[in-house]
Chain A
């Protein structure tokens, strides 16, 4: 109930802004926290199209495409093959600054997604992302596997029916954010499409942040590794010593 109220409130707010841009999109949750019990979450985006403003024509049925791009990550894909009788990683491909999360959501159905005008046709395919991130020494054949593995972990997501219209101009997009999702800034881009053309573009963003002790520990391990190591060793000595006393027979 609270969620619905928030959504309606957001809608009213968006209606006002939409008049300037033609389309507007926003998230119900600008900050997503990954804590020690994070098992993934469904992110909901609300948006509104304002016919007659920007270049949005009146009296059309609209389609919407939403692109969500997470912070860059570096990935290594390896292929195992039999060599001297044992399974060995024989081929590698490194990808630098690959979006750690990338979702393509649309209301168009799968067929019309690739017919979008340039450069939006490229943005809706994962192949371009993989090819752009691959380092020079990488193996192009592994791009397909990278995309498959990213999809398998829910980090690349294509949902051609991931957006539904609540009214002819109001839409809602939902997508799952898996627990492996990297922390950082997520940029959302919403495209209003009328008669195969992109007529309005708008963007927003949300932040995924590691919360609590986990974030603190990871930060210390990176910024003060010697102190972190010393603390680990001291903790081990203390645990061992205490254990010896507590369980003394």
Chain B
């Protein structure tokens, strides 16, 4: 059943949209990630214009992180003060990201930037995840070698920064500067690439700031929710490329799919899951590399021109 997307200005099959929403939701439930980093590329590959794909997925990320964030708030499994500082940084990041997005679009280089951005991010993170999970799978098969435990502690540069404050819930006494900085960077990336950034934020909080495991996921979800809601609003105001119908179809699919993914995930081991996710991430990165490296069949393309640009 075709459905006309008013902002993207094209007809797409309704069941295709709900289907990819559900597939991404399943994956996000399975691995505990937002799924924006897979959803935006999928939309791009199926012909949705880049500005519309990026801006509309921000709405989908809001929906997919809402129910998670609520349940973490109920269980009090998050650090509100840490979240507040992250969000403060994130809001500025989001503003900066939407501004850069507009600039790139005006200069006609947005598509190239999005492709390069995804290639770099997914390539790097996919490779890291792959190496890490293969190592831990091998280690579990050779039980005689004890896993080397890293000592708890922060990176030295985190400790020397000024403006230290106490985050009681996380049992941390650190400077607010790295917290603001991390929030800011994730905010920029989120606005530019249409991803929540949970799969970067969680490792950053754990490895750079040593945020304990029991509050890290909730804290990161609250950050995603607040920053992506702002980004969605800013995109709607600045670039007017949020397609509410597209976002809604994706949300409905993903919210349902996530629940099935979460229950399927209980039957798989952690390192197997991570290896699987790494394969998917690398697959998407490979697809972007192909688009950049291989000359397209038609080297000319036509799109609607923006008034005021150039």
- Partner-B contacts on A (CB < 8 A): 34-39, 73-82, 85-89, 92, 94-96, 135, 137, 142, 145-146, 148-150, 153, 179-180, 210, 213-215, 217-218, 221-222, 225-226, 228-233, 235-237, 239-245, 247, 249
B276 within 8 A of A: no
Complex contacts, B111 vs chain A, CB 8 Å: 89
Contact with A229, one of B1, B236, B258 (Cβ below 8 angstroms): B236
Are B245 and A94 within 8 A (Cβ)? Answer: no
Interface residues on B, range: 35 or more
Q: How far is the CB of B178 from chain A (nearest CB, A)?
A: 29
B window 56-88: CB within 8 A of A: 59-60, 62-68, 70-71
Are B244 and A235 within 8 A (Cβ)? Answer: yes
Closest residue on chain B to residue A34 by CB atoms: B4
Bound-state Cα–Cα, A166 to B98, Å: 59
- Partner-A contacts on B (CB < 8 A): 1-7, 9-11, 59-60, 62-68, 70-71, 108-109, 111-112, 116, 229, 232-237, 240, 242, 244-245, 247-248, 251-252, 255-256, 258-259, 262-263, 291-296, 299-307, 309-310
Contact with A89, one of B64, B108, B236 (Cβ below 8 angstroms): B108
Are A240 and B66 within 8 A (Cβ)? Answer: yes
Contact with A218, one of B6, B70, B232, B259 (Cβ below 8 angstroms): B6
Are A210 and B251 within 8 A (Cβ)? Answer: no
**Contacts A/B (CB < 8 Å), 23 sampled:** A37-B4, A39-B2, A76-B306, A77-B300, A77-B302, A80-B296, A81-B299, A87-B295, A87-B299, A89-B109, A92-B108, A145-B302, A149-B302, A225-B236, A228-B236, A232-B59, A232-B236, A232-B247, A236-B59, A236-B62, A245-B67, A249-B259, A249-B262
Complex contacts, B248 vs chain A, CB 8 Å: 235, 239
Are A150 and B302 within 8 A (Cβ)? Answer: yes
Are A74 and B307 within 8 A (Cβ)? Answer: yes
Contact with A36, one of B4, B7, B116 (Cβ below 8 angstroms): B4
Closest residue on chain A to residue B4 by CB atoms: A36
Bound-state Cα–Cα, A179 to B310, Å: 29
Known contacts A74-B307, A225-B236, A233-B62, then 10 further A-B pairs from the complex at CB < 8 Å, ordered by chain A residue? A37-B4, A74-B306, A80-B295, A145-B302, A180-B9, A221-B242, A221-B244, A236-B60, A236-B247, A242-B255
Interface of B is mostly: helix
Are A86 and B292 within 8 A (Cβ)? Answer: yes
Bound-state Cα–Cα, A86 to B290, Å: 10
Complex contacts, A35 vs chain B, CB 8 Å: 4
Are B235 and A229 within 8 A (Cβ)? Answer: yes
Complex contacts, A73 vs chain B, CB 8 Å: 304
Closest residue on chain B to residue A247 by CB atoms: B259
Bound-state Cα–Cα, A148 to B301, Å: 10
Are A38 and B11 within 8 A (Cβ)? Answer: yes
The listed residue with most B CB atoms (<10 A of its CB), out of A73, A81, A225, A230, is A225
Are B300 and A80 within 8 A (Cβ)? Answer: yes
Closest residue on chain A to residue B25 by CB atoms: A243
Are B237 and A225 within 8 A (Cβ)? Answer: yes
Closest residue on chain B to residue A96 by CB atoms: B305
Contact with A88, one of B66, B112, B247, B256 (Cβ below 8 angstroms): B112
